């Protein structure tokens, strides 16, 4: 795991200045504190920061082939590098290191850009081919590792993080058009960033820069199987799933440094720990973040798993006084507004884990691969609900809304959710999904933003996304959205930035592409038997877990911001939020804050999103 950055001048007579390349590389020191390396040749410059995990002695980068006509910088891990190395040896290739980096070079020599399809791993890499005068930029199939790029000063600039491009002097003009996307989703999907001319490379894509042209190519996509051909043999699915997941965990435990696991107390991370414990020759180190607010805390469940599998367990707590530090941390490491508040506990668990290990396995991706979010239950419910007579469907939300007005606190929040689910079930799929993913009601957002003609609408964006989707069943359409949009640009972005902020590598077994390709072909009735979430996992690896894990309600890795923002200590923060002009309606902000304080609505995460946006816009 590392950080990469680079410069490519389109003018072949213009030489890269290594001192500028070093500035771009130094600013991502946190991604690779173990070493640095540079390659400058005429108009091409590659910079690398190394976090050494495999081949500690001979894995330095940039790495070259034998005649130095190929130069590679690489962020990530190729988990099947041992198997690929053996295959390449039979094809006549000789190796000088034990690193997975050299495997990429030899694979490129053998298969060209098609080598990307041979890798099982996570990566962002840049490969310069001197003979072809070609630069190849690539990221992995699911976007676990990031790559940002832009053209400025007749130069293509790229980096693992946007801050490398800014260190070159890239213009910082905000991309105001995407404000509505951020305020709806809490993140910005590729290719967009909050900078006018900087883009994110999309998962499963690569850029080929040659003869002054920049060409984007898709080398992989999720297989969209016709719904009538979905797999329905439960026994076969269970066997294949368990076999692949076990191997995915095993190959991700390849490491030359100490490692452990994040353990939230949920089904996914608990299953990963269970499999690690079967494979490891000594107790697995596990790390958990807890909250004093029991509604958000699963540390007691994590402890049950730690006890069952005899792990070396560490528990730490996140407190409200972490707010200021967390805000500064997130503004620096995300480079643009990123409003998913679960970045806060992710940062803290990464910090504490790094004190003991250099790499962890996580349970991320399980909800996406297994169709395990509650939204999938909602889609099944909507399918049944829409069969009811119209007067009943309209009457239920009205009755719930009347009851909600008489309540306060958690019961009111529960009734609000019931009302939202029943109202959404009366709508079409895209409006229903927008309601589900939005952090604030559409009317409130319109009042907040004012003239919407200046912004890209979430409706237009969703229509563009689903124009590429062949599924007709809303259950599979949600699966498509989760795998293509929310997974890479919310969940994986969150984990990458917060773990690398502490120089910690995270590996994600559920996102082994073999597992993804299997599970997208599985019928929804196998994935979710009745309304049971993650039936496939529960009936395979889950059988080894404590029963409390299997029966626990679904909890996100959230922060009790709703309650924090009711506390007196936040009053000055909240007043400044609504009094400072940053392009949004201050009266609407005051209403949002007030309704959260009175317990009428849960606007905790949305208020956090506003704090992040305001402070990012006010950066120097």
Q: For residues 479 and 489, what is the distance between their CA atoms, to the nearest angstrom?
A: 15
pLDDT of amino acid 566 = 84
Q: For residues 287 and 264, what is the distance between their CA atoms, to the nearest angstrom?
A: 8
- 149-181: pLDDT as tens digits: 999 999 999 999 999 999 999 999 999 999 999
Q: For residues 396 and 385, what is the distance between their CA atoms, to the nearest angstrom?
A: 11
Counting the structural domains of the chain, the total is 2
For 303-309, the CB contacts below 8 A with 24+ separation are 303/265, 304/265, 304/546, 304/548, 304/549, 305/263, 305/265, 305/270, 305/273, 305/274, 305/545, 305/546, 305/549, 306/263, 306/273, 308/274, 308/545, 308/546, 309/273, 309/274, 309/277, 309/284
Q: Within this chain, do residues 34 and 165 fall inside the same structural domain, yes or no?
A: yes
- 505-526: pLDDT as tens digits: 999 999 999 999 999 999 999 9
Pairing of strands 312-318, 285-291: parallel
pLDDT of amino acid 382 = 75
Q: Within this chain, do residues 202 and 234 fall inside the same structural domain, yes or no?
A: no
SS3 190: coil
By C-alpha distance, which of 345, 261, 349 is closest to 309? Answer: 261
Q: Within this chain, do residues 346 and 490 fall inside the same structural domain, yes or no?
A: yes
Question: 112: how many CB neighbours lie within 10 A of its CB?
Answer: 12
Query: Which range of residues forms the domain containing residue 295?
Result: 230-371+477-550
Maximum distance among all alpha carbons in the chain? Answer: 77
In order, the DSSP letters of 310-371 are T-EEEEEEE-GGGHHHHHHHHHHHHSS----TTHHHHHHHHHHHHTT-SEEE--TTHHHHTT
Q: For residues 234 and 184, what is the distance between their CA atoms, to the nearest angstrom?
A: 37
Q: For residues 179 and 187, what is the distance between their CA atoms, to the nearest angstrom?
A: 10
563 falls within a domain:
no
- Sheet order of strands, 121-129 included: 63-64, 70-78, 121-129, 134-139, 205-210, 213-218
Q: Exactly one of 2, 40, 206, 469 is catalytic; name it.
A: 2
Apex 488 CA angle, 485 and 491, nearest 5: 105
pTM confidence score: 0.92
Q: Within this chain, do residues 200 and 346 fall inside the same structural domain, yes or no?
A: no
Q: Within this chain, do residues 546 and 511 fall inside the same structural domain, yes or no?
A: yes
Pairing of strands 359-361, 259-262: parallel
| Chain length of the chain | 620
Q: Within this chain, do residues 325 and 262 fall inside the same structural domain, yes or no?
A: yes
Q: For residues 451 and 587, what is the distance between their CA atoms, to the nearest angstrom?
A: 15
Q: Within this chain, do residues 151 and 277 fall inside the same structural domain, yes or no?
A: no
187 falls within a domain:
yes
pLDDT of amino acid 205 = 98
Q: For residues 605 and 562, what is the distance between their CA atoms, to the nearest angstrom?
A: 7
Q: For residues 373 and 367, what is the distance between their CA atoms, to the nearest angstrom?
A: 6
391 falls within a domain:
no
What 3 state SS string does 566-599 have? CCHHHHHHHHHHHHCCCCCCHHHHHHHHHHHHCC
26 falls within a domain:
yes
Pairing of strands 312-318, 134-139: unpaired
- 6-29: pLDDT as tens digits: 999 999 999 999 999 999 999 999
Among 181, 197, 218, the domain boundary falls at 218
Among 504, 521, 550, the domain boundary falls at 550
Q: Within this chain, do residues 168 and 264 fall inside the same structural domain, yes or no?
A: no
Are 121 and 65 contacting, i.e. CB atoms less than 8 angstroms apart? no
Q: Within this chain, do residues 192 and 82 fall inside the same structural domain, yes or no?
A: yes
Q: Within this chain, do residues 299 and 234 fall inside the same structural domain, yes or no?
A: yes
Q: Within this chain, do residues 122 and 253 fall inside the same structural domain, yes or no?
A: no
Q: Within this chain, do residues 209 and 296 fall inside the same structural domain, yes or no?
A: no
- Exposed e or buried b per residue across 195-222, where buried means at least 16 C-beta atoms within 10 angstroms of its C-beta: beebbbbbbbbbbbbeeeeeeeeeebeb
383 falls within a domain:
no
558 falls within a domain:
no
Q: Is residue 2 among the annotated active site residues?
A: yes
Two tokens, residue 170:
């890239």
418 falls within a domain:
no
Residue 98 CA, chain-centre distance (Å), reads 29
pLDDT, averaged in runs of 10, over the chain (620 residues): 94 97 98 96 97 82 97 97 98 96 98 98 98 98 98 98 98 95 97 97 98 97 96 98 98 95 96 98 95 82 97 89 81 96 92 96 98 91 63 55 55 56 70 93 93 89 96 96 98 97 97 98 96 96 96 77 82 82 90 90 93 90
In order, the DSSP letters of 43-90 are TEEEEEEE---S-TTT--SSEE-TTS-EEEEEEEEETTHHHHHHHHHH
- Sheet order of strands, 2-9 included: 35-41, 44-50, 2-9, 155-159, 148-152, 198-200
The CATH code of the domain that includes 317 is 3.40.50.620
Among 169, 188, 218, the domain boundary falls at 218
Are 45 and 16 contacting, i.e. CB atoms less than 8 angstroms apart? yes
The CATH code of the domain that includes 155 is 3.60.20.10
604 falls within a domain:
no
């Amino acid at each position: 795991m590392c950080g990469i950055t680079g410069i490519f001048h389109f003018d072949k007579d213009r030489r890269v200045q290594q001192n500028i390349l070093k500035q771009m590389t130094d600013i991502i020191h946190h991604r690779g504190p173990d070493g640095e390396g540079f390659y400058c040749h005429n108009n091409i410059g590659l910079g690398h920061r190394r976090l050494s995990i495999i081949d500690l002695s001979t894995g330095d980068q940039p790495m070259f082939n034998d005649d130095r006509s190929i130069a590679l910088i690489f962020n990530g891990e190729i988990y099947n590098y041992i198997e690929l190395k053996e295959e390449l040896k039979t094809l006549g290739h000789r190796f000088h290191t034990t690193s997975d980096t050299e495997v990429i070079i030899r694979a490129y020599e053998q298969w060209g850009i098609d080598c990307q399809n041979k890798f099982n791993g996570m990566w962002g890499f840049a490969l310069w081919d001197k003979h072809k005068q070609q630069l190849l930029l690539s990221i992995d199939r699911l976007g676990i590792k990031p790559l940002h790029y832009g053209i400025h000063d007749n130069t293509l600039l790229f980096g693992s993080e946007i801050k490398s491009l800014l260190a070159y002097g890239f213009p910082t003009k905000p991309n105001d058009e995407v404000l509505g996307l951020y305020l709806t989703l809490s993140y910005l999907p590729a290719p967009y960033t909050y900078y006018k001319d900087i883009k994110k490379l999309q998962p499963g894509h690569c850029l080929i820069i040659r003869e002054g042209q920049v060409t984007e190519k898709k080398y992989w996509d999720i297989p969209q199987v016709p719904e009538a051909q979905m797999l329905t043999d439960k026994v076969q699915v269970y066997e294949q799933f368990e076999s692949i997941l076990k191997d995915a965990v095993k190959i991700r435990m390849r490491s030359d440094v100490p490692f452990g696991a994040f353990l939230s107390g949920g089904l996914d991370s608990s299953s990963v720990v269970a499999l690690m414990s079967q494979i490891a020759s000594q107790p697995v180190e596990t790390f958990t973040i807890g909250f004093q607010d029991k509604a958000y805390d699963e540390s007691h469940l994590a402890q049950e798993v730690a006890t069952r599998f005899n792990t070396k367990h560490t528990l730490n707590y996140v407190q409200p006084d972490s707010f200021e530090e967390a805000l500064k941390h997130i503004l620096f490491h995300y480079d643009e507004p990123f409003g998913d508040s679960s970045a806060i506990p992710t940062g803290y668990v990464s910090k504490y884990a790094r004190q003991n290990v250099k790499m962890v396995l996580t349970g991320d991706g399980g909800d996406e691969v297994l169709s395990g979010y509650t939204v999938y239950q909602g889609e099944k419910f909507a399918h049944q609900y829409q069969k009811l007579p119209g007067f009943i469907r309209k009457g239920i939300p009205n009755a719930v809304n009347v009851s909600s007005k008489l309540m306060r606190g958690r019961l009111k929040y529960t009734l609000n959710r019931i009302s939202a689910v029943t109202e959404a079930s009366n709508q079409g799929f895209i409006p229903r999904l927008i309601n589900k993913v939005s952090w604030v009601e559409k009317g409130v957002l319109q009042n907040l933003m004012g003239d919407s003609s200046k912004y890209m609408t979430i409706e237009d964006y969703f229509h563009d996304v689903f124009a590429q989707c062949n599924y007709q069943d809303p259950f599979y359409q949600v699966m498509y959205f989760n795998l293509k949009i929310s997974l890479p640009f919310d969940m994986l972005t969150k984990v990458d930035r917060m773990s690398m902020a502490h120089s910690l590598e995270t590996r994600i077994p559920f996102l082994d592409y073999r597992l993804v390709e299997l599970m997208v072909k599985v019928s929804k009735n196998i994935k979710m038997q009745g309304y049971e979430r993650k039936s496939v996992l529960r009936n395979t690896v889950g059988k080894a877990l404590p029963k409390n894990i299997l029966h626990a309600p679904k909890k996100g890795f959230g922060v009790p911001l709703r309650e924090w923002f009711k506390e007196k200590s936040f009053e000055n923060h909240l007043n400044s939020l609504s009094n400072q002009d940053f392009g949004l309606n201050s009266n609407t902000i005051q209403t949002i804050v007030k309704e959260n304080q009175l317990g009428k609505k849960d606007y905790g995460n949305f208020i956090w999103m506003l704090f992040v946006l305001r402070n990012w816009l006010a950066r120097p």
